[in-house]
Amino acid sequence: MLQGTARMVAEAVGRNSRLVSRLRPTYESVLDWWSGGRGIPWEINGVMFRVDPRNRHRLGQNYDAPVAAFLRERIRPGDTCIDVGANVGVYVLQFAHWSAPSGHVVAFEPNPDALRVLRQHVEWNGLQNRVEIAPMAVSDTPGHATLYAIEADGMSRLDQPNASIASEVKPLTVDVTTIDEFCERTGLKPDWMLIDIEGFEIEALRGARRVIGERADHLGIIVEIHPDVWRGTHDEAVQLFNELGVRPVPLTGQRDPLAEHGLVHLAHL
């Protein structure tokens, strides 16, 4: 009821109005108090979860709806899902729900602020036994790298700041792994992999060659394509996909899946 009333007021006054912006921190503190510090009920693509009221805007109620529908129809109970660039967990929560009751989720997230919220979301939704959080970045070579981050913002990225938040970021040294190294070390055999790491998706795929080859008949791959911030070229991406034996199928309305930003399914040839 509290959230519904606040929503009506914000729509009447204007969600981006000065008044709503000034009142928002107080409102979020009230929501946190009202929930007893256990997260507020929040619907994501038709499923209720408990989330941090201060980060609810990062978990849209219709978040990537076409992609969620695609995955919901295909993920089976007991599946193992990898989320590379998990941020505060919008896909982690859904993966855990779709793969219930025995599915396993591995969430890679190097940003300390996002990690704090992600851990809260896992705990508040009772998923500690099925979600493994790996506090590291993913690329094509293990080691260390600089992450340019701002709070829990999902636009934080490795190597260089995202241009849209460059004036606000701070550099952090983070651990880096590859999917191949992690899976070999832990014995993980993924059924689904989602990669969204602000332009480093090609590097992450290069570091997953062995897993993709070995799991070709069992592994579904979803990738968010950021061609405007790739470190490589379009032709290099095409070559890599050919080597991996996959082709990008757009899921979010792109006409050219390698030239336009959006999510794709890497279908095996």
Domains of the chain and CATH, by start: 63-268 (3.40.50.150)
CB-CB contact of 64 with 222 (8 Å): no
Q: Is 91 helix (H, G, I), strand (E, B) or coil?
A: helix
Binning pLDDT at 50, 70 and 90, where does residue 13 land? very low
Which has the higher per-residue pLDDT, 35 or 16?
Answer: 35
The HSE-up count of residue 102 (CA atoms within 13 Å, CB side) is: 2
Give the Cα-Cα-Cα angle 119, 125, 130 (nearest 5 degrees). Answer: 75
The residue behind tokens 């832990």 is: 186
Angle separating helix axes 2-13 and 18-34, nearest 10 degrees: 180
Structure tokens at 193: 């992999």
Tens of pLDDT along 206-218? Answer: 999 999 999 989 9
Pairwise CA distance, residues 49 & 198, whole Å:
26
Mean pLDDT of 124-149: 97
Confidence of residue 26 (pLDDT cuts 50, 70, 90): low
Q: Above pLDDT 90, what percent of the chain?
A: 73
pLDDT over threshold 90, residue 10: no
Does residue 30 carry a pLDDT above 90? no
**Phi-psi region for residue 199, left (φ > 0), alpha (ψ -120 to 50) or beta?**
left
Q: What percent of the chain has pLDDT over 70?
A: 87
pLDDT tens string 226-262: 988 887 788 999 999 999 999 999 999 999 999 999 9
CB 225 within 8 A of CB 238: no
CA atoms of 179 and 208, how far apart (whole Å)? 5
Tens digit of pLDDT for each residue in 97-123? 999 999 999 999 999 999 999 999 999
202 burial type by CB count under 10 A (0-12 exposed, 13-18 middle, 19+ buried): buried
CA–CA distance, 255 with 241 (Å, rounded to integer): 18
Tokens of residue 99, six digits: 């793969």
CA distances from 105 to 156, 191, 239 (A): 22, 10, 30
Strands (DSSP E) found in 53-95: 80-84
Tell me: the pLDDT tens digits for 156-199?
Answer: 889 888 888 888 999 999 999 999 999 999 999 999 999 999 98
